[in-house]
Amino acid sequence: MPDKTKTQEILQKAINLSPADQTEVVLISDRFRLTRFAESVIHQNIANEETRLIVTTVADKKVGIATTNDLSPAGIEGAVSTAMRISSLQEADERFESFPTPEMAPPLEKTVFVEPNLNFNADDMAGAVSGIVKMAGSKDLEAAGAFRHEIQTVGIANSLGVEQFGQFGKSEMSLTVNGQEDNSGYAIGFNPDPAKIDFQAVAERAIKKAEASTDPVTLPDGKFTVILEPAAVGQLLLFLGFLGFGGRTMLQRRSFLSGKTGELITGENITITDEPENPAFGSLLFDFEGIRRQSIKPIDQGKAGDGAFDSYYAAQMGVTPTGHALPPDNSYGPYPKNLAIAPGKATVEEMIASTERGVLITHFWYINFLNPMRTMITGTTLDGTFLIENGKVGSAIKNMRTNQSILEAFSNVEMISRNRVVYPQYSSLLLVPAMKINGFDLVQETKEEWEGKC
């Protein structure tokens, strides 16, 4: 992976070669390791390291973007030439004002709160998986899942003088254990440092779910009181953020936040923030324009609040950039990737004890959105769904489908746990509690629907 000196050399070379009015260059280097296992056997080990250079040129407000992994002098020159050629074919973007200036994005001395673990290797990953497989095998269960460890180096510079460099790491263990009776249990663990994931605790949670998931009963369709464990809450939060917290969707009025600042859109016990400087995430402290990532509150005590902006969409909205730019070759626009839900005061045990009849849900599977403006999503429960009766967890339940508005669900939250965990999903990290929610829509999953997805 290029060090700081080498990265800056590459960035400045590209900028010096560009005849554009303004130029921005981003260098992203990924060291990625993946160990996948199924039926209690490791079947795939991947170790990959890739560096890509993204050059953005603006000439007469015509924007061109080119990407290369050829970092030779000829490769860098070729990327600049390609970006210029692309820009010459574009219509002028009159909305473009400028890349960030050094005043907007001063160099950061500290760029991450958690230094990446550079020494954790494939043998360490295999050892962690081996321990989990042995724990599952002792209970006559098979283990399947994936252990991911990634280190990313990011360098950014533009022709106005902005310059940033940083490195961060993240790792996750996703685990499903299966029994002979179609019973299964799920758990996931995350830490910026892979050596600090509690693999035994992850395995114990999944095994406990699987052992309790035999002989499931069928529930009728209806609206239920549900207790969502953190992974299930995290999946709802991920979709909520993607659908409505980004500056692009707000500008285009495709966001449920658009025009509603200060209006109550969830229960008053819901506060959602983006916390890029939370050490639990260990994320980079600047965005892909070099601007320091700022904390925002998209929902503040139930009221619609802030959006996430890069410099381009901030200029159009007349607001200050919040440091949420993604790599320039993305198609989504800015959005927050370190979301957190404020904790409550309850425990999961207290939630269960307070529930006369309800459903405990571990996580959802195959979630898709139905109506973005209404935050309607659909998905099925999986790997540990249980009936709660008279304050106690009872029988396992056959998986059920939900067709549910997330904002509606967050308007009916009765209890929130004080303990929170980091739930990783795609490229986002979510700090989430468990929740007790009333009036949650669940219907029977037909055999045909289930088999059609398997």
- Answer yes or no: do 92 and 157 share one domain: yes
In a domain, 206, yes or no: no
Token pair belonging to 310: 């890069």
- The gap from C-alpha 294 to its chain's centroid, in whole angstroms, comes to 17
Other beta carbons less than 10 A from residue 59's beta carbon: 19
pLDDT tens across 181-229, in order?
999 999 999 999 999 999 999 999 999 999 999 999 999 999 999 999 9
Residue 427 included in any domain: yes
* Whether residues 291 and 166 fall in one domain: no
Question: Do 118 and 65 have their domain in common?
Answer: yes
**DSSP 8-state secondary structure symbol assigned to residue 264:** B
Q: What is the pLDDT of residue 451?
A: 54
- The answer to whether residues 263 and 373 belong to one domain is yes
Q: What is the mean pLDDT of residues 224-235?
A: 98
What pLDDT shows up at residue 454? Answer: 47
In a domain? residue 180: no
pTM here is 0.95
Q: Strands 296-300 and 142-158: what pairing?
A: unpaired
Q: Do 162 and 238 lie in a common domain?
A: no
How far apart, in whole angstroms, are the C-alpha atoms of residue 373 and residue 18?
42
107 belongs to a structural domain: yes
pLDDT tens figures, 399-426 = 999 999 999 999 999 999 999 999 999 9
For all residues of the chain together, what is the average pLDDT?
A: 96
Q: Averaged over 15-27, what is the pLDDT?
A: 98
Read off the pLDDT of each residue in 143-170 and give the average, rounded to a whole number: 98
Element at 17 (helix H, strand E): helix 4-17
Strand partners, 168: 152
Give the separation between CA 248 and CA 253, rounded to whole angstroms: 8
Pair 256, 165 in one domain: no
For residues 220 and 329, state if they share a domain: yes
Name residue, tokens 């965005």.
287
Boundary residue ending a domain (117, 140, 170): 170
Q: Which residues of 180-205 are buried (b: 16+ CB within 10 A; e: fewer)?
A: eeebbbbbbbbbbbbeebebeebbeb
Say whether both 35 and 165 belong to one domain: yes
Q: Can you give the pLDDT at residue 75?
A: 98
Contacts of 109 (CB under 8 A, 6+ apart): none
**Residue 181 counted as domain residue:** no
Place of tokens 């707000």: 250
- Band (pLDDT 50/70/90 cuts) for residue 16 is very high
- CATH code: domain of residue 103: 3.30.2290.10
- Looking at 137, 170, 203, which one is the last position of a domain? 170
Overall domain count for the chain: 2
Other C-beta atoms lying within 10 Å of the C-beta of residue 13: 17
Measured at the alpha carbon of residue 399, what is the angle toward residues 397 and 402, in degrees to the nearest 5?
120
State percent of the chain over pLDDT 90. Answer: 96
Q: What is the mean pLDDT of residues 366-378?
A: 94
Residue 255 lies in a domain: yes
Residue 86 has pLDDT above 60, yes or no: yes
- Range(s) of the domain holding residue 318: 215-454
Q: H or E element: which one contains 157?
A: strand 142-158
Same domain, residue pair 366 and 433: yes
Tell me, yes or no, whether 247 and 112 share the same domain.
Answer: no
Residue 284 lies in a domain: yes
- 136 in a structural domain: no
Is residue 429 within 8 A of residue 422, CB to CB? The reply is yes
> For residue 448, what pLDDT band results from cuts at 50, 70 and 90?
low
Parallel/antiparallel/unpaired status of strands 376-389 and 142-158? unpaired
Span 21-26, average pLDDT = 98
Lowest mean pLDDT among 119-133, 365-379, 440-454: 440-454
Cα angle value 82/87/90 (rounded, 5°): 135
Quick one: what percent of the chain has pLDDT higher than 70? 98
Which residues, in sequence order, are CB contacts of 127 under 8 Å at separation 6+? Answer: none
CA nearest to 413, candidates 233, 288, 255: 233
pLDDT for position 445: 81
Confidence category of residue 447, pLDDT binned at 50, 70, 90 = low
DSSP letters, 340-406, are EEPP-SB-HHHHHHT-SEEEEEEEEEEEEEEETTTTEEEEEEEEEEEEEETTEEEEEB--EEEEEEH
Query: Is the CB of residue 196 less than 8 Å from the CB of residue 169?
Result: no
Tens digit of pLDDT for each residue in 301-324? 999 999 999 999 999 999 999 999
**Which pLDDT value is given to residue 446?**
67
Q: Which tens digits make up the pLDDT trace of 246-286?
A: 999 999 999 999 999 999 999 999 999 999 999 999 999 99
- Among candidates 445, 206, 379, 168, which has minimal Cα distance to 286? 168
Looking at the structure, tell me whether residues 307 and 395 fall in a common domain: yes
**Do residue 325 and residue 443 come from a single domain?**
yes
